[in-house]
């Protein structure tokens, strides 16, 4: 997306105008202070191009050749000039102007004076040179000198004109202008070129002032049409240069060596009707030489040749005219404003083309003006203005572009972030408000969204009055942008419903901020909707996560390729997957890692491949889990739930065993009862009435019935305990143990055994179920009596051990072989040794003890040596101390 730096037309106009005025002020300021004067003058030299000169001006040079012939020219007798003048007069020259000072008396002065008089009489008008020195302040359109050197009166009197030859170079040392009128020692004179020009038209010094009109900056000379010289405050005017200095090949003017002329060595028509200028030229060491615009490579032009160019300028009617100051200032201002306005409208490419084209156009225009109207335009300042305009406009454009890029970038970043579904709604609001501030460069503004009752409320505000509730409400009602002064409210609309309102105070200058906010709002609608959906999904996901985490079942979700997508803590714990993260890994990796045996996980794998739903039991570290797997076609996923059914599995095993025991252990006494009952039946049938016999049978039957009853009672007790039915309360163990001992004392006496007790005076209480504990612990004392021969020793001890109460029953009976000790506490387990084989029992007593103790969070263990005796230990935790 390419954006113009400022989207609104007004903004562009405004910025263009501002830039233009700024640049114009700067440049006109610099120009009026006359900065870069040398550069400006040098650039003027571009205008001086060689042009055709008329053949009306001829130079007679005092050159090296004549000096070689006649010696140093300073020493020449004036007769030599007289001879020259005779030749010129004979050659019918119209004007003979000498750029030489005849101010000191010399040899042959009389001859020269006579020659001048003769020449004048023959129609050759003689112009002699004067030179002023000690220049004074200029005024009234003339140069003023305090002093001067003039031709001797004997020459000046017969001569047509005495004229000044001073040349005034510009600030850069280059002669571009020529003097018009000069005053010295109170007298006014024309310059050499003007005098020569007047002489050409036979305008004498007395007549000339009437023919010449002088205005403020104009000197109008007689000619058809009249020739106007634009002069500056010093009376200087701009002359043309017709070509390179004559020292170079070609040369603009016809030049004769003075020697050749004196010797008569020239073509007869050489001077006919022409202005002849006589002076030092092509002479080594000549003092009268100057830099001119056409000789900037360092070559100097002789004063006489400069005079020739000035005369030629007037004769050809091509004097130059400098641009007026008003025009210069206007040009600079117009270029600045126009170009800035133009640059503000165009694209980068066009800007670059203008950058190259504008200076070129200016140069073409200036040269055209010069060649058509002879006006010397100020090349430098407009050119500088163009460059400065370009630079400033570029700077402004770049800075605006950067600013907009920044705001666009952050805008895009916001949108991108949302589209990546990484942004919560809350975070998005912050991003939006940040962006809005950047776009509007705003100190004030706000973001509004509807609350749960669909009322719009400000959720982000910056600045003191940033909310603008009025305008914001209007934007909601109208579903369109609203403004009030500089306050802007833009609704964010999604499916014709306003989802948010952005308000802001716009900058005082229209820079397209409004358009950008609207553009932002339009793009934001989708993002806001996304963020809302995203937030919703997230919270749903959180619920799901919660369910997963809290579920008592293990849950694992697989994708269609059987990669684990997620699993909960329970699965990780049961399958021992905690040491690393299995998300994204194939389920086989997790199963292989788990402690379950290979066959189990292979069947699980096969089941997953084969069927859409299945149920399977797996055993991991002696715990049994039920796996329920279901394939959810929508979204292509598998959900596996694991339930810990270890207790259930154990119970079912117990039941199986109990049925087996019942069928075995209950069958014997039942068989006996039935046997005796049949015998009694036969006695009845035989009508026997032996009461002793009856009594015997009945007592056997009762005995067997009691056995059965015991088995059934113990099974029921165990069941009772297993189902967690105990009621614990603070309990004194000393009393409890006393009760246990009271129950057993009779049996011990029967077997003539010694039963000793070591009970403390006082013990902290435990939390316990009295009935259950008495029943359980009685089994331990009972076993000790049962599995100890007559006359044995049984010791019972009760004491505190750390945070627990310990109970010990020690006997010196048959003892238990080591290999049997491990299974001693399992249901129906009995140890069959030679000594104990005939002792009756169910094998449930110790399991009952274990169940009771474990229900009390205690533990039970045994220490026994076969044939030496056993000690059973019970440890029960103390009741927590109440604070
Ligand atoms: P029962 O006594 O009904 O057989 P128990 O669960 O109480 O069942 O005891 C299991 C087995 O442990 C007994 O069969 C017996 O062999 C052994 N046993 C229990 N207590 C002792 C003991 N104090 N000395 C020797 N053997 C014992």
pLDDT in tens, 720-735: 777 777 889 999 999 9
Lowest-confidence segment of 44-48, 353-357, 616-620, 664-668 by average pLDDT? 664-668
Euclidean distance between CA atoms 9 and 390, whole angstroms: 20
pLDDT confidence tier of residue 5, bands split at 50, 70 and 90: very low
How is residue 709 written in tokens? Answer: 């009853």
Euclidean distance between CA atoms 41 and 38, whole angstroms: 5
How is residue 741 written in tokens? Answer: 């001992």
pLDDT reading at 211 higher than 70: yes
Euclidean distance between CA atoms 303 and 332, whole angstroms: 36
3-class DSSP string for 386-403: HHHHHHHHHHHHHHHHHH
Q: What's the gap in Å between 852 CA and the centre of ligand 1? A: 17
DSSP 252: S
User: Which atom of ligand 1 lies at the shortest distance from residue 844's CA?
Assistant: 6
Q: Which residues sit with their C-beta closer than 6 Å to ligand 1?
A: 779, 783-784, 787, 811, 813-816, 824, 829-831, 836, 841-846, 870
- Alpha helix segments (H runs only) across 33-108: 37-44, 64-70, 79-90
pLDDT confidence tier of residue 115, bands split at 50, 70 and 90: very high
Q: What's the gap in Å between 521 CA and the centre of ligand 1? A: 86
pLDDT confidence tier of residue 418, bands split at 50, 70 and 90: low
The residue nearest atom 16 of ligand 1, judged by CA position, is: 831
Instruction: Look at residue 424 in the predicted model and tell me its pLDDT.
Output: 67
The residue ranking higher by pLDDT, 656 or 805, is: 805
Exposure string of 503-527, with b = 16+ CB inside 10 Å and e = fewer, is: bbbbeeebbbbbebbebbbeebbeb
Instruction: Look at residue 547 in the predicted model and tell me its pLDDT.
Output: 83
pLDDT per residue over 665-682, tens digit each?
788 888 889 999 999 999
Query: Among 463, 513, 511, which residue's Cα sits nearest to residue 488?
Result: 513
The residue ranking higher by pLDDT, 522 or 119, is: 119
pLDDT reading at 422 higher than 60: no
Strand 766-768 to strand 729-731: parallel, antiparallel, or no bridges (unpaired)? antiparallel
pLDDT confidence tier of residue 511, bands split at 50, 70 and 90: low
The residue nearest atom 3 of ligand 1, judged by CA position, is: 841
How is residue 686 written in tokens? Answer: 């035989």
Residues 6+ apart with CB under 8 A from 867: 814, 815
pLDDT per residue over 221-268, tens digit each?
988 889 999 998 888 999 999 988 876 656 789 999 999 999 999 998
Instruction: Look at residue 729 in the predicted model and tell me its pLDDT.
Output: 93
Is 780 within 8 Å of 743 (Cβ atoms)? no
818, 841, 863, 869: which to mutate for ligand 1, most atoms within 8 A of CB?
Answer: 841
Instruction: Look at residue 883 in the predicted model and tell me its pLDDT.
Output: 61
Q: What's the gap in Å between 288 CA and the centre of ligand 1? A: 149
The residue nearest atom 21 of ligand 1, judged by CA position, is: 783
**Concatenated DSSP letters of 277-300:** EEEE-S-TT-S-EEB-GGGTTS--
* Residue 685, H or E segment: helix 667-685
Instruction: Look at residue 4 in the predicted model and tell me its pLDDT.
Output: 39
807, 825, 846: which to mutate for ligand 1, most atoms within 8 A of CB?
Answer: 846
Q: What's the gap in Å between 831 CA and the centre of ligand 1? A: 7
Across the strands, what pairs with 188?
183
Most confident by average pLDDT, 388-402, 713-727, 808-822: 808-822
Mean pLDDT to the nearest integer, 601-615? 85
Q: What's the gap in Å between 672 CA and the centre of ligand 1? A: 25
Contacts 24+ apart (CB under 8 A), 134-140: 138/233, 138/234, 138/235
Instruction: Look at residue 399 in the predicted model and tell me its pLDDT.
Output: 86
pLDDT confidence tier of residue 152, bands split at 50, 70 and 90: very high
Q: What's the gap in Å between 738 CA and the centre of ligand 1? A: 22
pLDDT reading at 420 higher than 60: no
Most distant CA pair in the chain, distance: 213
The residue nearest atom 25 of ligand 1, judged by CA position, is: 815
The residue nearest atom 8 of ligand 1, judged by CA position, is: 843
- pTM of this prediction? 0.52
Lowest-confidence segment of 4-18, 558-572, 854-868 by average pLDDT? 4-18
Q: What's the gap in Å between 840 CA and the centre of ligand 1? A: 10
DSSP 175: -
Mean pLDDT to the nearest integer, 835-862? 90
Mean pLDDT to the nearest integer, 858-876? 95
- Alpha helix segments (H runs only) across 137-188: 153-156
Angle among Cα 367, 385, 46 to the nearest 5 degrees reads 25
Contacts 24+ apart (CB under 8 A), 700-708: 700/672, 700/676, 701/672, 701/673, 701/676, 701/677, 703/669, 704/668, 704/669, 704/670, 704/672, 704/673, 704/676, 705/669, 705/673, 707/669, 707/840, 708/666, 708/669, 708/670
**3-state DSSP call for residue 808?**
strand
Burial of 599 (0-12, 13-18, 19+ CB in 10 A): exposed
Q: How many CB atoms lie within 10 A of CB 846?
A: 23
The residue nearest atom 19 of ligand 1, judged by CA position, is: 783
Lowest-confidence segment of 521-535, 602-616, 771-785 by average pLDDT? 521-535
Q: What's the gap in Å between 765 CA and the centre of ligand 1? A: 29
Euclidean distance between CA atoms 229 and 237, whole angstroms: 6
pLDDT reading at 419 higher than 60: no
Mean pLDDT to the nearest integer, 543-549? 83
Q: What's the gap in Å between 772 CA and the centre of ligand 1? A: 19
Euclidean distance between CA atoms 787 and 872, whole angstroms: 13
Is 439 within 8 Å of 520 (Cβ atoms)? yes
DSSP strands (E only) in 405-513: 445-450, 456-462, 482-484, 487-494, 497-505
Mean pLDDT to the nearest integer, 850-854? 92
pLDDT reading at 13 higher than 60: yes
Q: What's the gap in Å between 686 CA and the centre of ligand 1? A: 45
Lowest-confidence segment of 281-295, 386-400, 528-542 by average pLDDT? 528-542
The residue nearest atom 20 of ligand 1, judged by CA position, is: 783
- Alpha helix segments (H runs only) across 686-767: 691-722, 733-750
711, 712, 753, 783: which to mutate for ligand 1, most atoms within 8 A of CB?
Answer: 783
Mean pLDDT to the nearest integer, 567-581? 88
Query: Among 94, 85, 100, 101, which residue's Cα sits nearest to residue 57?
Result: 94
The residue nearest atom 17 of ligand 1, judged by CA position, is: 831
The residue nearest atom 7 of ligand 1, judged by CA position, is: 845
Euclidean distance between CA atoms 6 and 22, whole angstroms: 19
Instruction: Look at residue 2 in the predicted model and tell me its pLDDT.
Output: 31
Mean pLDDT to the nearest integer, 450-475? 87
Instruction: Look at residue 168 in the predicted model and tell me its pLDDT.
Output: 86
Instruction: Look at residue 177 in the predicted model and tell me its pLDDT.
Output: 92
**Concatenated DSSP letters of 344-404:** HHS-HHHHHHHHHHHHHHHHHHHHHHHHHH-EE---HHHHHHHHHHHHHHHHHHHHHHHHH
787, 840, 852, 860: which to mutate for ligand 1, most atoms within 8 A of CB?
Answer: 787
Query: Among 372, 329, 462, 358, which residue's Cα sits nearest to residue 24?
Result: 329
830, 835, 848, 866: which to mutate for ligand 1, most atoms within 8 A of CB?
Answer: 830
pLDDT confidence tier of residue 1, bands split at 50, 70 and 90: very low
Instruction: Look at residue 375 in the predicted model and tell me its pLDDT.
Output: 94
User: Which atom of ligand 1 lies at the shortest distance from residue 815's CA?
Assistant: 25
Is 559 within 8 Å of 636 (Cβ atoms)? yes
Is 546 within 8 Å of 567 (Cβ atoms)? no
Q: What's the gap in Å between 787 CA and the centre of ligand 1? A: 7
User: Which atom of ligand 1 lies at the shortest distance from residue 779's CA?
Assistant: 7
Euclidean distance between CA atoms 482 and 463, whole angstroms: 20
Tell me the average pLDDT of the chain: 88
Q: What percent of the chain has pLDDT over 70?
A: 95
- The structure tokens 């191009």 sit at 49
User: Which atom of ligand 1 lies at the shortest distance from residue 842's CA?
Assistant: 3
Mean pLDDT to the nearest integer, 93-98? 97
Euclidean distance between CA atoms 93 and 85, whole angstroms: 9
Instruction: Look at residue 793 in the predicted model and tell me its pLDDT.
Output: 96
pLDDT reading at 690 higher than 70: yes
C-alpha R_g of the chain: 66
The residue nearest atom 2 of ligand 1, judged by CA position, is: 841
């Amino acid at each position: 997306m390419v954006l113009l730096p400022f989207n609104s037309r007004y903004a562009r106009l405004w910025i263009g105008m501002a830039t233009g005025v700024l640049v114009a002020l700067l440049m006109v300021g610099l120009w009026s202070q006359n900065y870069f004067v040398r550069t400006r003058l040098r650039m003027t030299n571009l205008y001086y191009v060689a042009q055709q000169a008329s053949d009306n001006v001829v130079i007679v040079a005092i050159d090296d050749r004549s000096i070689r012939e006649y010696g140093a020219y300073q020493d020449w007798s004036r007769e030599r000039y007289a001879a020259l003048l005779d030749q010129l007069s004979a050659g019918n020259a119209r004007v003979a102007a000498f750029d030489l000072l005849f101010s000191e008396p010399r040899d042959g002065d009389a001859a020269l004076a006579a020659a001048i008089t003769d020449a004048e009489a023959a129609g050759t008008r003689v112009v002699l040179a004067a030179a002023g020195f000690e220049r004074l302040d200029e005024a009234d359109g003339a140069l003023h000198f305090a002093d001067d050197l003039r031709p001797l009166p004997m020459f000046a009197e017969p001569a047509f004109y005495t004229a000044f030859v001073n040349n005034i170079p510009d600030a850069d040392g280059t002669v571009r202008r020529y003097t018009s009128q000069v005053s010295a020692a109170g007298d006014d004179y024309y310059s050499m070129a003007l005098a020569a020009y007047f002489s050409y038209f036979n305008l004498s010094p007395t007549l000339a002032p009437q023919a010449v009109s002088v205005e403020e900056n104009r000197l109008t000379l007689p000619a058809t049409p009249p020739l106007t010289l634009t002069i500056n405050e010093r009376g200087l005017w701009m002359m043309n240069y017709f070509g390179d200095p004559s020292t170079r090949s070609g040369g603009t003017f016809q030049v004769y060596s003075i020697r050749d002329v004196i010797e008569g060595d020239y073509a007869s028509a050489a001077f006919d009707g022409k202005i002849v200028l006589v002076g030092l030229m092509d002479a080594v060491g000549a003092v009268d030489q100057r830099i001119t615009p056409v000789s900037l490579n360092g070559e100097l032009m002789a004063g006489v040749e400069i005079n020739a160019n000035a005369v030629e300028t007037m004769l050809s009617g091509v004097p130059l005219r400098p641009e007026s100051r008003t025009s210069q200032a206007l040009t600079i201002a117009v270029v600045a404003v126009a170009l800035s306005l133009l640059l503000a409208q165009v694209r980068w490419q066009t800007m670059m083309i203008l950058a190259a084209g504008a200076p070129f156009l200016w140069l073409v225009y200036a040269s055209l003006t010069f060649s058509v109207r002879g006006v010397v335009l100020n090349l430098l300042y407009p050119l500088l203005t163009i460059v400065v305009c370009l630079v400033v406009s570029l700077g402004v454009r770049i800075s605006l572009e950067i600013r907009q890029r920044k705001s666009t970038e952050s805008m895009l970043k916001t949108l991108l972030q949302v589209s990546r579904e990484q942004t919560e709604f809350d975070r998005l609001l912050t991003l939006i408000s940040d962006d809005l501030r950047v776009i509007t460069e705003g100190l004030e503004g706000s973001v509004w969204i509807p609350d749960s009752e669909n009322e719009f409320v400000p959720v982000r505000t910056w600045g003191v009055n940033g909310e603008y509730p009025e305008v914001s409400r209007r934007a909601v009602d109208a579903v369109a942008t609203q403004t009030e002064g500089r306050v802007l409210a833009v609704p964010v609309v999604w499916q014709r419903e306003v989802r948010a309102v952005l308000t802001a105070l716009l900058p005082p200058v229209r820079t397209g901020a409004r358009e950008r906010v609207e553009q932002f709002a339009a793009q934001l609608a989708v993002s806001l909707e996304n963020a809302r959906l995203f937030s919703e999904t997230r919270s749903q996901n959180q619920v799901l996560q919660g369910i997963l985490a809290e579920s008592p079942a293990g849950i694992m979700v697989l994708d269609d390729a059987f990669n684990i997508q997620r699993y909960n803590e329970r699965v990780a714990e049961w399958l021992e997957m905690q040491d690393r993260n299995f998300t994204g890994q194939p389920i086989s990796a997790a199963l292989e890692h788990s402690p379950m045996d290979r066959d189990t996980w292979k069947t699980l794998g096969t089941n997953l491949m084969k069927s859409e739903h299945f149920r399977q039991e797996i055993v991991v570290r002696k715990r049994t889990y039920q796996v329920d797997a279901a394939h959810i076609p929508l979204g292509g996923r598998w959900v596996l739930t694991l339930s810990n059914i270890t207790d259930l599995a154990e119970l079912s095993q117990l039941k199986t065993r109990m049925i087996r025991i019942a069928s075995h252990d209950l069958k014997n006494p039942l068989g006996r009862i039935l046997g005796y009952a049949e015998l009694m039946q036969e006695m009845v049938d035989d009508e026997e009435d032996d009461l002793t016999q009856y009594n015997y049978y009945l007592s056997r039957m009762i005995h067997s019935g009691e056995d059965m009853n015991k088995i059934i009672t113990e099974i029921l007790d165990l069941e009772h305990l297993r189902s967690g039915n105990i009621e614990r309360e603070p309990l004194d163990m000393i009393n409890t143990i006393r009760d246990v001992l009271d129950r057993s004392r009779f049996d011990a006496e029967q077997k003539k055994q010694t039963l000793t007790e070591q009970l403390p005076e006082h013990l902290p209480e435990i939390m316990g179920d009295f009935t259950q504990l008495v029943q359980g612990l009685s089994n331990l004392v009972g076993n000790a009596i049962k599995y100890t021969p007559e006359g044995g020793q049984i010791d019972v001890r009760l004491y505190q051990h750390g945070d627990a109460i310990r109970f010990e029953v020690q006997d010196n009976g048959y003892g238990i072989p080591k290999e049997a000790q491990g299974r001693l506490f399992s249901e129906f387990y009995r140890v069959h040794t030679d000594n104990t084989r005939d002792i009756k029992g169910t094998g449930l007593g110790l399991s009952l003890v274990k169940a009771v103790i474990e229900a009390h969070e205690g533990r039970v263990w045994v220490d026994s040596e076969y044939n030496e005796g056993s000690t059973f230990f019970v440890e029960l935790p103390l009741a927590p101390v109440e604070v």
